[in-house]
Structures are given as C-alpha cells and as structure tokens.
Structure 1
C-alpha cells in the first residue's frame, strides 16, 4: 500500500481530554505506523507539551507544534519565529486593550503583563505532572525581544471581554506583521506571518514526497481550517465547529468516541479490500 501522511490536531481531536490520548486511538495509530505510514500531531501547544502527548503514542509519532511554526522531520526541527517587530506590535495592542499576551518557545512561556488568575492557571492546565515548563514574567518589551530568536508563537486570552479581544485582533490585522487564528472564541492565536498548520503540512508533503491526495488531516477548531484544506482527505470531528464541518470531506465521531481511530480503521480497511 502507498504511504500516507496522517496529521491530527490534538485538543478536541486526537486527545480524549487535555492530557490523555485513549489506548484505542494509540493502538490504531501504531498499527498504521507499523504499516509504514507517517503520523504527526499538529497543535498550537508548545513543543514540550506536544511531546508529552506524542509520548503516549510512542517514539515514532512526530510533532507539528506552535500552530505550524515548529515541526520535526528526519530528526531535525524546523522553526519559524514571530520576530522582534511582531512582538512589539502584539504587546502594544494587547496591553492597550487591557489584555495579556503569552509567548511560547519550545520549552518556555513568557509574558510581560500579569495575567488574570484564571488565565495564569490555564498556562499550567495542559502540562502533565512530570513535565516542567519555565513560566516567566519579563519586565518589559525590551526584555521580551531578547528572546525573539526562540519565540515561535503566542496567544491572547479574554474570558470576559470579547470587545477588547476583537479590538486587539483588528489592530494586529491592520499591521499585517503576523498570522492570526483562533482555537476558541476566547482567544487569538499569534503565529509567524505566512505560517499555520497548513504551511507545515505543505512543507512536509514536499519533503516526504507524499502528495495531497494521500494526506489525511483531522481537526475540530478554526485554527484547523487551513490544515484541512491542505489535505486531500479532510476529516472533521463530530464535536467540530460548524465552519470545520463545512470544509471537511468527512465527519467522524467525536473525540470522546475515538472518532479519529474509528475513521482510520474504516478508511484503511477499505483501502486494503
């Protein structure tokens, strides 16, 4: 059988909850890895947290982290960075609207403005107990920019002020210094310009020689739309937002029902018959 590139979002898709991939899903993925196919997790999470999820599948599961700004191929990592100019624009827009921007490297989390307690708690909610993340407040934008050679992406949360979030997004979009997305109505995903999960898939298709028509992508949120369009076989989860279901060729069961595993079993059983 020809080799397939299989790519899955993590939260709400591959994972049963924020820290767990089901045994059944892991077993199905490993069966396909045994058959010679490639599997990538594609997530907005920083690399360290993506790696904690990949470990539940095993060492052959590869990683696309930071919404496509970092990915693995043949033992090497490729990084795209937000850059010093974008960091300054983000910080000014967020702080000007009373919001906190949070920035990620592969292993660390930075912020300048102190976040509300609920958001600070969210920064730790995705980390397993055995994973240590360096979460650090920096004194100002100048200190933040000293890390511009390692910051891949960021996020702005607003749990109670959608107007402030909308204003921040509008201001950043007008400057065209970075790519904006969202995994939820309460956030803005901050990604390097011209980069998203789709960009990583296109680069991997070129490097692996696996074409679009043998690329399978799974997603549930708005930041998965580009990735689904880059795949010839696009699959929305049963719990996906309507916009994702509208662009996907297939809809499978929810993440709580092992929808990814169920689709892959049906698809490859048909391919082999």
Structure 2
C-alpha cells in the first residue's frame, strides 16, 4: 500500500468533547497507522502550543494548527501566522463603541487578554485563562484569536469585517483561521507528500476546508450535517470506534 498522510481534527474527532481524553481504540489505531509507515498528523483550530501539548501526549510530531495558520514538522514550529491585523483592529474598535466585551489571543500561550471585567468565562469547557488588563488595540502587532459576546437577536447585526466567525462557549463568537486544507497543502510541500494520498478525519464546521479533493474525507458519526454532506465516507461516532472502524474498512491497518 502507498504511504498515506492522515490528518485528524482533535475535538470530538480524536478527543472526547473538548478534552485531552482519547478512546483506547483510537489510540491503538494511531499506533497501528504509524507502524504501517503512514504519516499521522493533527489538523486543528487549536493554538499551536495547545495542539503541541496534545500531540506530544499521543506521540504525534506533525501538526497543522491555528486553523491552518501554523505548521509544526517533526516537532519543530516552522510557521505561525496571525489573523488579518487591520480587519481585527477595525472589529475591536467597533466592539468598543458598542460596549461589547471581547478578548484576544496575542501570543502562543493559553491566555487571552480582555479589558472587560465582565467578559464571560464561566463555561467549564473553556481551557484558556482570561487575563483582565488594558489592551491597546492600535499597538497590537499580531492577533491569533478573538472572542466576543454574541448579541441578542433584537440587537443590530455586528459587522464581521470579513473575519470567520464560529459559535463558541459562553454565548460568544470565536474568530480564528479556518483553512486547514491550505495548511495541509503547505505541509505536504515541505515534506514531499502527495495530496492524492491524504486522508482527513473531522466533525465540525471548521473542518470544511479540508473536506476537499483530492483528499479522501471521513466524517465522524457525530459530525455536523453540513460536513457529512461533503464526506467521502461517514464512520461511527468518535466514542464508538469510528476512527478504528474506518481504518480497518479501507485496509489502512
């Protein structure tokens, strides 16, 4: 069999919900893929430092993180790019005018910074530390993520400035890059991989960009309906052996 290049989303694909926990059958499958000489990599929206921590726990060296904006190859961070800075600053100034609380991630750590004491952070699934301090918008040189409070349906629609918005915890919007597919292609260029041999696994809306040809795409049984419509194959839920079942069905292990 030709060498395959497997790219797995983390949350609700490899991991159970938003956590570090991976089912034992999935861990077994990853080890078997590696023993067959396939490349096993991560493709996630998580910040690079968080994705690296998860990957190291599961003996994975290659990571497309930050929604495609960072590349880690053989454990070495090679690229890490932020969101479009001018668009982000315009959005933050607009949110300030409307008194809508926001927070930004400006470094490769699990900290987000907000000038708003009332920024919501009660959801137990939130894994980032929220630091309340002044954030001078015009002085920012890089922004990796933004979260801000979603307004009630009766409020005027917030201008999005062309930035990708995903519903997130604590009734907020999450703005982060969403082109994992482009990140995968850039990684293949660096390692000499063939796009025709790529297999991607995902469950969420931020996986849509990697459910593209010529990649072979597998949606988890617990995936969003929009993603399932794009998939080449729909497997079982991630807590019901979905990854292992797909890899056995197609003879990858």
TM-score band w.r.t. shorter chain: 0.7 to 0.9
In the TM superposition, residue 181 of structure 1 has moved relative to its aligned partner by 4.2
Q: Per the alignment, in what secondary structure is the counterpart of residue 55 of structure 1?
A: helix
Q: How does 1:1-273 map to 2 (within 5 A)?
A: 1-19=1-19, 20-58=21-59, 60-74=60-74, 75-95=76-96, 96=98, 98-114=100-116, 116=118, 119-122=120-123, 125=125, 127=127, 135-142=130-137, 145-146=139-140, 148-149=141-142, 151-158=143-150, 161=152, 167-168=157-158, 171-173=159-161, 176=162, 179-182=163-166, 187-191=172-176, 196-229=179-212, 232-269=215-252
Alignment CA distance shift 1:190-1:184 (3 Å): closer
Does structure 1 conserve the Cα–Cα contact (< 8 Å) formed by 2:45 and 2:176?
Answer: no
Alignment CA distance shift 1:80-1:255 (3 Å): same
Distance 1:137 1:78 in 2: 29
Distance 1:157 1:43 in 2: 23
In the TM superposition, residue 108 of structure 1 has moved relative to its aligned partner by 4.0
Higher mean C-alpha displacement, 23-32 vs 84-93 = 84-93
Alignment CA distance shift 1:94-1:109 (3 Å): farther
RMSD: 2.9
Alignment CA distance shift 1:23-1:11 (3 Å): same
TM-score scaled by structure 1?
Answer: 0.78
In the TM superposition, residue 55 of structure 1 has moved relative to its aligned partner by 2.8
In the TM superposition, residue 44 of structure 1 has moved relative to its aligned partner by 1.8
Aligned length: 249
Distance 2:154 2:199 in 1: 36
5+ residue gaps, structure 2, are none
Alignment CA distance shift 1:163-1:226 (3 Å): farther
Distance 1:216 1:230 in 2: 10
Q: Which structure has more helix as a fraction of its residues?
A: 1
Distance 1:108 1:34 in 2: 33
Does structure 1 conserve the Cα–Cα contact (< 8 Å) formed by 2:4 and 2:38?
Answer: yes
Structure 1 residue ranges (4+ consecutive) displaced by more than 4 angstroms after TM superposition: 183-187
Can you list the C-alpha shifts for 1:117-166, whole angstroms capped at 9, x where unaligned?
Answer: 6x4134x7354xxxxx6642331334x744x24x32333353x73566x9
Higher mean C-alpha displacement, 88-97 vs 31-40 = 88-97
TM-score scaled by structure 2?
Answer: 0.83
Q: Per the alignment, in what secondary structure is the counterpart of residue 76 of structure 1?
A: strand
Does structure 1 conserve the Cα–Cα contact (< 8 Å) formed by 2:101 and 2:116?
Answer: no
Alignment CA distance shift 1:156-1:163 (3 Å): farther
